[in-house]
Structure 1
Amino acid sequence: MSITAAEYRSRREQLMAKIGQGTAIFRSAPLSVMHHDVEHPFRQDSDFYYLTGFNESQAVAVLAPHHKEHRFILFVQPKDLEKETWTGYRVGVEQAKDQFGADVVYPIAEFNEKLPQYLKDADRIYYHLGRDKAFNNTILQHWQNFIAIYPKRGRGPIAIEDTNPTFHPQRQVKSPAEIELVRKATAISVEAHNRAMAFAKEGLYEYQVQAEIEHTFRLQGGLGPAYPSIVASGANACILHYIENNRQLQNGDLLLIDAGCCYDYYNGDITRTFPIGGKFTKHQQAIYELVLAAQLKAIEEVKPGKPYNEFHDIAVCVLVQGLLDFGLLQGNLEEIIKEEKYKPFYMHRTGHWLGLDVHDAGVYQQGEDTWQNLQPGHILTVEPGIYIAPNIKPAEGQPEVPEEWRGIGVRIEDDLLVTPQGHEVLTAGVPKSVQEICH
């Protein structure tokens, strides 16, 4: 279960067809982060990996469709026995050419020397200015050099264009092979969540539940967590990105778990909320059933041709109506939504793209009022929630929140594949009905 060399080549060909006379440059992720001589795991840049499958740092990929000999050029670290003894094997220049399908491979030290030959006949440079400021400056310097000689040559790159608008729509629509990798990531994530739901009980610590989840990820062949696992009990569930995971579980707590597995760089992303001890309180169950109703309604809106915002909008309508029914909001539903007076309870969007990145590449809107339409091959999350923090401050003109509602946090999240007929819930294997999660 992996992406073939033919698919990587097809991806490059698709992009080169779009850039025409341009030259595109992609930089690998920086070296692993070092803290006091301890090396933390390396994670390749997703754009670079999508186009090459090459998983080493200090590398650059260049696509030059106009070049007569070399259309796909790689710059990599050369073999170095002494350094490899300390930091791991390198593919090296010679092997990279055959293994990754490049027309030519150079040592990374030759980048500045060799790059101009792939820029001189280009009409523009496609490059995303990222966090590597030194490399950004290198590309800008090459561009400035060509600008300086343009009056004499009358050709060469006179513009720099961000790769993302041209390239990321390609990443947004998943191939059959990518879908299978997400299926694997979500299947492992499902197993981990089910293990956690069976394991969690009064007296354990949040980190012990986290350990069970992440043990399952690695045991089943995953690279580890797709993002820092959130295991949030009690009022901690009202903190959206809570990761301390150090509180002891108490009977009657709600436990919110937001965790997903990364498998061959593709990701799952699931959230479930359930009561420790198997029974909701009256107010916990009211909020839980409201969030679940909002999620189920939102999921119904996920189908080809639907604007991306519609499943969020329907979730907000359901949540706001429920909060009105509970007396936690007051006023006109449409006005509350327009003025965003529900935001103290629900402050995030209802989903995001999912794939090589947890918040995957691709736009959501195209202009002020035009949303991206869903299409087969899109993968996204649907994750409404309600968070009633102990110190919640209602919006202006809204009632104070009674004590019995405070400290309740609920989120329910599934991963969906848009299909030609509608959608498939990839994470349906984790229970979420009240009947299934209570005992």
Structure 2
Amino acid sequence: MFTTHRRKFLDSMDDGDIAIFPGASPAIRNHDVEYPFRQQADYWYLSGHDEPDGVLLLAKGIEGFSEDGIFVLPKDPAQETWTGIRLGPEGAKQELGFSSAWNLDELETVLTEALQQARRVWYRLGENQTIDSFLVKQLSSMRMKTRLGIHPPEALLEPTHVLHEMRLHKSEAEVEVMRKAAALSVEGHIMAMAQTSPGMGEWELQALCDYTFRRGGGSGWAYPAIVAGGANACILHYNTNQELLKDGDLLLLDAGAEYGCYAGDITRTFPVNGKYTPAQRDVYEVVFAAQAAAIEKCRPGTIFGDIHATAVAVLSEGLRTLGVLKQSVDEIVAEELYRPWYMHQTSHWIGLDVHDAGRYRNGDNWRPLAAGMALTVEPGLYFASDDERVPAPLRGMGIRIEDDILITPGGHENLTLAAPKTIEDVEAACSAERAMPATIDAELMVK
């Protein structure tokens, strides 16, 4: 998969071009404790290399350079005792399929030689200060050597215009990985539905999802879970997850697993006690209908913005039915009267990043969908506790429903369809028997 991605990017390069892609470096959480390492998405897409501080070099028509090379941390038995086994240059060639590989400490020497032959350089400024500084220094030096026949490259090109368009169109190999991320995400939601009950902490369900994702072979969460009981669901990116769940409230759970660096992203909203109230049913059915209509639009040729427009039209009619607004649907949509209760877009791309790479517009116009694109569909309605514009039974209620949709040649595939979604299926899942991870029964004493 990764070799194919490199080959495709090389096809967009001209003779005399080089392209430089740095990987991620460890980040400090506090003092000498690092955050869990996660590879930079563009670098992973092209290399499949999951060690820190790597640099990818693609070269086309550059004498003395193979087309794909990589700089990696050197083999170091003493250091590997502390931080784990490294591939080293030979391992990078054997296991990742690179034609050339160097120790990281050779980076400046090798890049200097490549730059002296390069006509154009593909590199994204502003993301790696070390390489930014090296390139600025090197290019400035080359300008002073023209009498020696050394000339700086003619152009510095932004690689993501090409690369992110590639990432937007998923290959079948990528789709298989995304199906696994989606399946783990589904399992986390099903487990949460079965275990949720009044008096539980939001944090317990967050831990349960994280456990389920890791236990199933994922690297963990694709983003910090939103576990929002009651009115917390009206905070779109609520993730403190520190309140107790109350009888009669809804729980909005927005959580997804990461597998092979690809993200799942699911939202379900279900009753803490397992049964929707009449008011909750009414709002839920509106959001459910909006999502169903929007998903139906997911097929090749549909304009991206039409997905949101479809959801908005259904939600606007629902706001009339719920007694929140009285104006006509046309007026509600035209004047955006729905925005106090539906303030976000319906969709975003999904892939290596949960909000994945790729343009949404061609110029001023929304782009059409095409086979291989993957996006979420996630309409919602949010009624704050103190919002006196809405009927009292609706206040303190936030409902969102989200699935991951792959555009196929003939329509779409809902990657997360197995997560219960109809009222009947959700209530059945909430009442299902499903084993909970073992708990510590003994009282913990702090001395």
Q: State the Cα distance separating 1:192 from its structure 2 match.
A: 1.3
- 1:64 counterpart SS class: strand
Percent identity, please: 44
Q: Is 1:28 paired with 2:17?
A: no
Q: Is 1:38 paired with 2:33?
A: yes
The equivalent residue for 1:331 is: 327
- Residues 147 and 158, structure 1, Cα contact 8 Å, conserved in 2: no
The equivalent residue for 1:59 is: 54
Structure 1 distance, partners of 2:129, 2:332, is: 44
- Residues 32 and 43, structure 1, Cα contact 8 Å, conserved in 2: no
- Residues 221 and 258, structure 2, Cα contact 8 Å, conserved in 1: yes
Structure 1 distance, partners of 2:146, 2:233, is: 59
The equivalent residue for 2:444 is: none
- Residues 147 and 157, structure 1, Cα contact 8 Å, conserved in 2: no
Letter in 1 for 2:20: I
Aligned pairs for 1:212-231 within 5 A: 212-231=208-227
Q: TM-score, structure 1 length as denominator?
A: 0.92
Q: State the Cα distance separating 1:336 from its structure 2 match.
A: 3.3
Q: Is 1:282 paired with 2:303?
A: no
- Residues 143 and 158, structure 1, Cα contact 8 Å, conserved in 2: no
Q: State the Cα distance separating 1:39 from its structure 2 match.
A: 2.4
2:120 alignment partner, one of 118, 124, 127? 124
- Residues 142 and 150, structure 2, Cα contact 8 Å, conserved in 1: no
Q: State the Cα distance separating 1:376 from its structure 2 match.
A: 1.3
Q: State the Cα distance separating 1:150 from its structure 2 match.
A: 5.6
**Which deviations, in whole Å up to 9, do the C-alpha atoms of 1:302-341 show, x marking residues without a partner?**
0011111111110011111211332323434334333333
Aligned pairs for 1:357-396 within 5 A: 357-368=353-364, 370-392=365-387
Q: State the Cα distance separating 1:113 from its structure 2 match.
A: 1.6
The equivalent residue for 1:422 is: 411
Aligned pairs for 1:387-406 within 5 A: 387-392=382-387, 400-406=389-395
Letter in 2 for 1:364: Y
- Residues 169 and 362, structure 1, Cα contact 8 Å, conserved in 2: yes
The equivalent residue for 2:94 is: 98
- Of 155-164 and 131-140, more deviation after overlay is shown by 131-140
1:98 to 1:391, Cα distance in 2 relative to 1, 3 A = same
Structure 2 distance, partners of 1:59, 1:209, is: 36
Structure 2 distance, partners of 1:424, 1:348, is: 24
Letter in 1 for 2:166: Q
Structure 2 distance, partners of 1:359, 1:136, is: 26
- Residues 20 and 58, structure 2, Cα contact 8 Å, conserved in 1: yes
- Residues 229 and 258, structure 1, Cα contact 8 Å, conserved in 2: yes
Structure 2 distance, partners of 1:171, 1:149, is: 39
The equivalent residue for 1:47 is: 42
- Residues 79 and 92, structure 1, Cα contact 8 Å, conserved in 2: yes
Q: Which segments of structure 1 move beyond 6 Å, counting only runs of 4 or more?
A: none
Q: TM-score, structure 2 length as denominator?
A: 0.90
Structure 2 distance, partners of 1:410, 1:237, is: 7
Q: State the Cα distance separating 1:156 from its structure 2 match.
A: 4.4
Let me know the Cα RMSD of the aligned residues. Answer: 1.9
Letter in 1 for 2:7: E
Structure 2 distance, partners of 1:329, 1:150, is: 71
Q: State the Cα distance separating 1:98 from its structure 2 match.
A: 2.4
Residue correspondences, number: 426
Structure 2 unaligned blocks of 5 or more: 429-447
**Which deviations, in whole Å up to 9, do the C-alpha atoms of 1:98-127 show, x marking residues without a partner?**
222223222222212210222233222111
**Which deviations, in whole Å up to 9, do the C-alpha atoms of 1:338-365 show, x marking residues without a partner?**
3333222111111111111111111111
